[in-house]
Every structure is written in structure tokens, then in C-alpha cells.
Amino acid sequence: MSTTITGTTATTSTYAADAMKQSIGMNKDDFLLLFMEQLKNQDPLNPQDSSEFLAQLAQLTQVEQAYNTSATLEKLLAAQDSSMAMSSVALIGKEVTALGIQAAFDGSNPATLSYQMPANTTSTTLRITNASGQTVRQIDLGTVAAGNGSYQWDGKDGQGNLLPAGSYNFGISGLDGLGNTQIATTYTTGVADGVRFENGMAYVTIGAVSVPFSDVTTVKQS
């Protein structure tokens, strides 16, 4: 274990020294070489005051430590991203629930629209829109109890026509006992069938829908 730590430290230090040289033109080692050359070539009868050099060396050491810290953080973030990537891939084939307003309709089977209502509501409405933001279906849910719930949408529009497979958005709202509007928290649910990576982030795909891995709230065996 000691060997691994030493190797990591050496690599980080080398990275920091190289980054310093690229940024300010020299690193601590270069400065020490320059300092030693000046000491060797100074007039022995009139030696230079080394206090200024030592102060500058101390500043360079602090800068190098800052680069070391930055390099270590980069390695930790890279390790975290790698761990997240592996975890997201493990979700493939499992039933997942994630925060989101999207629902994947496969063109034939009903899509489960999951939600959590913050309070008991009446005059509750479920609105489903397509990718263009157009309302394709509006359903009167009537009275809805506070807590978790779901609605099985058959994939049809308001005229009873079966809509094409794809991603649809949905929202649910109603009135509480005081007449205030309550908006449900909605969830994207389904069996994860893939994972994609974009700009360092992992997205779990559920049919035509992609949700950030960080938004996944529950995972079950399908």
C-alpha cells in the first residue's frame, strides 16, 4: 500500500511541476537551480542577500502545493465519474424511477405516469403534451389523495386515436381544501435499456426518454 501511495504522490507532484512550468515559465526545481548558480557565481567578498530568494522560494512552494491540491482533486473527480459510469451501466434491465416530467410510450403498451401529490386535491387534472409542447390529452382525475400515485395512460389522444411511440411530457395539478393549487411531483418510470454519456454526465435511457443518473430515486428488479 505504501508503494501505491508514493507512486501516486510522485505522479501528482510531477503533474504540478509541469503545470507550473507551463503557466509561469518555471517550477520550484528550476528556481533552485537558478538560485544555486547565482550563489556559485557571486562575489565571495560581497555576498548577495539570500533573504529575497528564500521568500520567493517559499511563494513558489505554496504555488506548487496549490497545483498539487488541484491535481489531486482532478483525480478524485475522475475516479468519481468512473464510479458513476459503472453504477449507471448496472441499471440496464432494471426498473427505475427518476425525477422527471417525461413518459416513454412504446406505441402499444400503456405508459405508467407516476407522481406524488403534496396534499389532497379536487378538480385534479392530468395534462399530457408532445415534444412540441402541444396538449394531446387532458384527463380529469377528480379527487386525488396526498402521497404517491400513478395513472396508466393508454397512449391515446383526446379523440381516442393511438399516438405514435415516443417521449411525452405530463403534469398533474389540483385544488386543495383551501382552494390553493397543488402541483404534483412527477416521475419517469420504466425499464432502463441503455446508458449514454454526454459532457461528463451519465444518462439512463428508458425507451425514448433519457434521465440523468443523479435523478434516479429507486431501482427494482424488472
Residue 62 confidence (pLDDT) above 60: yes
pLDDT, tens only, 164-217: 999 999 999 999 999 999 999 999 999 999 888 888 788 889 999 999 888 989
Give the cell for residue 12.
501528482
Give the cell for residue 176.
386543495
Q: Helix, strand or coil for residue 106?
A: coil
Which of 57-71, 96-110, 200-214 has the highest mean predicted lDDT (pLDDT)?
A: 96-110
Query: b vs e for 201-210, b when ≥16 Cβ sit within 10 Å of the residue's Cβ?
Result: ebbbbbbbbb
Cβ–Cβ under 8 Å, residues 189 and 95: yes
Architecture of domain 94-221: Sandwich (2.60)
pLDDT for res 195: 84
pLDDT, tens only, 7-36: 344 454 555 556 556 655 555 566 667 666
Cβ–Cβ under 8 Å, residues 53 and 28: no
| Burial label, 109 (beta-carbon count in 10 A; 0-12, 13-18, 19+) | exposed
